[in-house]
């Protein structure tokens, strides 16, 4: 029996990447493949019923359990994946895969891009954040010297299987972690996401529309990615809205603040900075503030890190000549980047800034 599945293929730099979204689709997707991945990396902490489901769906693949989390996105984590590929004699014609969240995805994708100068890989994102964002678009990488995503490559998975079975019974924390990115899509493409995010109980609405939202986010992200895969034209950079501050927040909090919380606060802080630079961002600030109650739990963590953000921003990939480029949407303009002096940001970001912002 073929279960219902939405799928769409995108061609990027002459390579095809296919995204399939549905519930309990992994087995059908595996059967439709010419050959299943030789190895699939899975987080050791993934619930057993999910590991069993992956093993049943991909009966020809070897499952390799790894410790995921931000610690995996490191030289050691990368070396562990590469060692497994070498010891299992993976060759250039093999495909590998991962099932898991953004941390395992970023690391395995990076390993696939450099092992034997690049091998094919398949993604089975299992967190909400990974299904709506991190598994899509082919940015891979690891952290280095406490700085986020400092080393990485562009390498698209040939197939992304977003099976919402993995999201059944997901925790509030996992949902909130993806919500930051979902709100980002809403700010960038309000008309597409307003039916889901503009009123009512947001968490409940998201839970009731997972398949639709995962597919919609995947399509929107790939539309930006396919027009600017290498992130050089300012188009793809819009997807990084809020991320300059978010990455600094994650780093300065020792990764105790989740990616979603950091992205939410990052967007709000960047929007306020944009306003202080003289560009009217009041609509964006207003739209973001609607979600304040959802993120209020992480306000204290934000407060205690606000003073050190500029120091971490100084090492952001987007900094050149002491200036950081902040992507910010303006009406009628798809790509728009505002340059800010990191020294100036450092002077602005203090507890008064937050009081003023959250007034
Ligand atoms: N490459 C990109 O374009 C991109 C985009 C956004 C975020 N990211 C990265 O993604 C990472 C965050 O990803 P994440 O939020 O998925 O975190 P994560 O990978 O750390 O996963 C969170 C936890 O959930 C567990 N888990 C995974 N699936 C589960 C399931 N179905 N049920 C229960 N538990 C499950 C994992 O084992 C892990 O302990 C960050 O490092 C961020 O930088 C990358």
Residue count (the chain): 359
Report which of 330, 349, 355 is spatially closest to residue 278, judged by C-alpha positions: 330
Which residues touch 9 (CB under 8 Å, ≥6 apart)? Answer: 16, 17, 18, 19
Share of the chain above pLDDT 70, in %: 99
Give SS3 for 21: strand
Q: What is the pLDDT of residues 280-305, one digit of tens each?
A: 999 999 999 999 999 988 999 999 99
Q: Which pLDDT belongs to residue 219?
A: 98
Supply the pTM of this predicted model.
0.94
- Determine the residue of 100, 127, 149 to mutate for testing ligand 1's pocket, defined as the one with the most ligand atoms within 8 A of the Cβ atom: 127
- Which residues line ligand 1 at a C-beta cut-off of 6 Å? 43, 45-47, 50, 68-70, 73, 100-104, 106, 126-127, 129-130, 133-134, 137, 139, 149, 166, 177, 259
Query: Is the pLDDT reported for residue 2 higher than 60?
Result: no
Residue 141 host element (H or E): strand 139-144
Give SS3 for 251: helix
Which residue matches tokens 């061609």? 11
- Mean pLDDT of the 163-179 span: 93
- Measured CA distances, 239 to 23, 118, 187, 278 (Å): 27, 25, 10, 22
- Mean pLDDT of the 240-260 span: 91
Q: Which domains does the chain have, with CATH numbers?
A: 5-168 (3.40.50.1970), 170-359 (1.20.1090.10)
Average model confidence (pLDDT) for the chain? Answer: 93
Which residues touch 308 (CB under 8 Å, ≥6 apart)? Answer: 248, 252
Give SS3 for 66: strand
Q: What is the pLDDT of residues 201-228, one digit of tens each?
A: 899 999 999 999 999 999 999 999 999 9
Which residues touch 85 (CB under 8 Å, ≥6 apart)? Answer: 39, 96, 111, 115, 119
Residue 340 host element (H or E): strand 337-341
């Amino acid at each position: 029996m073929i279960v219902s599945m939405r799928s769409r293929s995108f061609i990027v730099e002459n390579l095809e990447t296919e995204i399939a979204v549905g519930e309990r689709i992994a087995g059908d997707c595996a059967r439709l493949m010419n050959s299943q991945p030789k190895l699939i990396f899975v987080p050791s902490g993934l619930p057993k019923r999910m590991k069993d489901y992956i093993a049943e769906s991909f009966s020809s693949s070897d499952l390799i359990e790894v410790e995921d989390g931000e610690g995996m996105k490191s030289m050691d984590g990368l070396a562990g994946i590469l060692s497994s590929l070498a010891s299992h004699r993976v060759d250039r014609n093999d495909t590998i895969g991962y099932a898991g969240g953004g941390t395992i995805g970023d690391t395995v994708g990076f390993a696939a891009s450099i092992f034997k100068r690049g091998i094919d890989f398949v993604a089975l994102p299992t967190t909400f954040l990974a299904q709506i964002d991190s598994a899509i678009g082919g940015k891979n990488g690891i952290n280095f010297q406490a700085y986020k995503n400092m080393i990485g490559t562009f390498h698209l998975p040939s197939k992304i299987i977003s099976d919402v079975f993995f999201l059944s019974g997901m925790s509030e924390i996992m949902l909130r972690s993806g919500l930051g990115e979902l709100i980002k899509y809403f700010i960038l493409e309000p008309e597409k996401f307003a039916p889901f995010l503009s009123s009512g109980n947001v968490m409940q609405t998201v839970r009731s529309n997972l398949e639709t939202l995962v597919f919609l986010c995947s399509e929107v992200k790939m539309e930006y990615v396919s027009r600017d895969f290498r992130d050089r034209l300012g188009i793809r950079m819009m997807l990084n809205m809020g991320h300059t501050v978010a990455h600094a927040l994650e780093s300065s909090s020792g990764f105790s603040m989740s990616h979603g919380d950091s992205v939410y606060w990052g967007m709000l802080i960047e929007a306020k900075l944009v306003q202080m630079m003289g560009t009217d961002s009041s609509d964006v600030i207003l739209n973001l503030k609607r979600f304040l109650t959802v993120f209020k739990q992480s306000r204290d963590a934000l407060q205690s890190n606000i003073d050190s953000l500029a120091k971490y921003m100084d090492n952001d990939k987007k900094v050149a000549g002491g200036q950081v480029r902040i992507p910010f949407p303006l009406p009628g303009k798809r790509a728009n980047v505002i340059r800010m002096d990191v020294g100036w940001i450092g002077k602005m970001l203090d507890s008064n800034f937050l009081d003023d912002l959250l007034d």
